[in-house]
């Protein structure tokens, strides 16, 4: 496909929930449309479903909720990107934590201008988070 994109879809875990299931649906549709998709997450119960759906998966340690986990998660993402020689056009994140980690990874650690999309699922502080994310 001439205008195909390299897209990373990121969730903190592969639990069985709406966030993860809708991200799998997004991955399937993007692949059907000819885009290159990589699902990045810490593992979980839905890993087998990704395999069944032939959705490429790469593990990164991005599940922490403490402040230092944002840095360790960003370095884990950076390692995944460097080891696999990924050049993502878009990083789609399903919640604020991986969005912050992706920003630190792409903009600060790697000096890339990768587009980062945050899919807000009624986050507790979505108004404030949205303002901050839109600023960056």
Q: Is 76 helix (H, G, I), strand (E, B) or coil?
A: helix
pLDDT tens figures, 23-80: 999 999 999 999 999 999 998 999 999 999 999 999 999 988 888 999 999 999 999 9
Q: Which CATH number fits domain 6-135: 3.20.20.70, 3.40.50.2000, 3.40.50.300, 3.90.79.10?
A: 3.40.50.2000
pLDDT at 122: 63
Q: What is the pLDDT of residues 108-123, one digit of tens each?
A: 888 888 999 887 766 6
Using only C-alpha atoms, the chain has a radius of gyration, in whole angstroms, of 14
pLDDT at 94 over 80: yes
So what's the pLDDT on residue 100? Answer: 87
Write down the pLDDT at residue 123: 62
SS3 113: coil
State the DSSP code for 105.
Answer: I
């Amino acid at each position: 496909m001439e205008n195909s994109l390299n897209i990373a879809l990121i969730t903190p875990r592969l639990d069985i929930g709406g966030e993860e299931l809708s991200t799998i649906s997004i991955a399937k549709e993007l692949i059907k449309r000819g885009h290159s998709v990589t699902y990045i997450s810490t593992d979980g119960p839905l890993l087998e479903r990704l395999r069944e759906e032939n959705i490429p998966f790469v593990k990164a340690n991005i599940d922490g909720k403490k402040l230092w986990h944002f840095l360790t998660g960003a370095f884990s993402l950076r390692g995944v990107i460097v080891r696999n020689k990924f050049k993502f056009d878009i990083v789609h994140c399903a919640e604020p934590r991986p969005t912050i980690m992706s920003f630190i990874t792409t903009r600060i650690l790697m000096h890339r201008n990768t587009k980062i999309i945050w899919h807000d699922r009624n986050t507790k502080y979505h108004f404030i988070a949205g303002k901050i994310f839109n600023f960056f």
